[in-house]
Amino acid sequence: MNYSTRRMFLAVQWVLFSFTTTSFVMGQTDIAIGDGANGLTYGAAVGYGANGYYYGEAMGYFANGQGYGAAIGYFADGQLSGAAVGNGADGQTYGAAVGYNANGQINGAAVGRQANGQTYGAAVGANANGQNRGTAVGRAANGQYAGAAVGASANGQYAGAAVGASANGQKYGVAMGPYANGRGTNVAVGYKANSQGGINRIAIGQNVTNNVNNSARIRGTLYLDGGSGIYRRSTFGTGTFTLKAFTIDHPLDPENKVLRHYCLEGPEVWNVYAGNAKLVNGQATVELPAYYSALNKVGSEIYSLTPVGSFADLCVSEEVHNNRFVISGEKDIKVSWTIKVLRNDQACQEDLRRRPVEQLKSELFPDQISQENAAMNTIAISDAIH
């Protein structure tokens, strides 16, 4: 409403509802209704001790809307371009607060009973706390100090992130799911997933607990859509070393030792399959994985057969077809078999196209060798020298 309409509205309101008011002052540019009310300098104040000074508007017992602010409610404070609605709400200094004792002062926003979004924060929900550049949504959610929390009692304070009821990602952690706990530079995803207590731990899945630093623990079946495998890279391979390796906890002394295994190398990309078979009536059919023909170049197989228990003549009587092959022998015996076959999926073909076995250095882009070796945890001799 415009200024004249608002003045008339306040005057009528006073006539109808303020019979107990002990003082009433209406100036040319201000309105004050109530004992001790202050509406000076284009302000409007309605209520005992209300203060709408200097373009402000206040309605309620000791409400304070001075300095372009607006306040509605008992002791509501919306001064200095702020807005406050509710008993004790505080939206002063460009803030906004709605609800009993809500606090959105200093460019903050708070909605809900005792919600706190002061100092550039945002809080929505009873007792939600997003002060100091934080964000909190939900009853008692806590995202203060640059954190983010969504869900009842979610806690993402101190630059953490928490999504879900009682999720805890405080102190640089991430937690997603009811009761997930990724506090302290850790990540937890799933109902009651827990990675708290160390550094750089990841726990994914329902009720998964990870208590090993710098590791990930995942529960459930993992599906890779469009991929052809899982590749692991470790930090091993610095200094003058040129070998590719992976590093794991030692299976006999995981607390004190590590175990390193090194990679086979060659100018072609091979996949290896191995197992044991039992000949019955002189034959055994070996079933290979269902993806075998899609991943590999059928016909490039190199077979190895070893009799177990005694000497025997053995042969591959039928080569790989429909993801199986047949072993034949002179007698029924256990046979250990190995197949080495060229990998031939689209991802492999594209990689070999971009990185052929032999290539002129003039065809390389700057630092390509260093980048490729860094990605594979190795180092070129030239890099080691320099």
pLDDT tier for residue 196 given thresholds of 50, 70 and 90: confident
| H or E element that contains 28 | none
CA 241 to CA 237: how far, in whole Å? 6
Question: What mean pLDDT value characterizes the chain?
Answer: 84
Q: Is the pLDDT of residue 235 over 60?
A: no
pLDDT tier for residue 269 given thresholds of 50, 70 and 90: confident
Predicted model pTM = 0.54
Residue 342 pairs with which residues in a beta bridge?
A: 270
The pLDDT, as a whole number, for residue 308 is 96
Question: How far lies 134's CA from each of 34, 39, 119, 162, 174, in Å?
Answer: 39, 35, 9, 12, 15
User: For residues 203 and 189, is the Cβ–Cβ distance under 8 A?
Assistant: yes
User: For residues 114 and 127, is the Cβ–Cβ distance under 8 A?
Assistant: yes
Q: Is the pLDDT of residue 112 over 70?
A: yes
The pLDDT, as a whole number, for residue 136 is 93
Lowest mean pLDDT among 84-93, 238-247, 330-339: 238-247
In order, the DSSP letters of 137-172 are ESTT-B-TTT-EEESTT-B-TTT-EEESTT-B-TTT
State pLDDT tens for residues 121-158: 999 999 999 999 999 999 999 999 999 999 999 999 99
CA 7 to CA 113: how far, in whole Å? 31
Residue carrying the six token digits 């180092």? 379
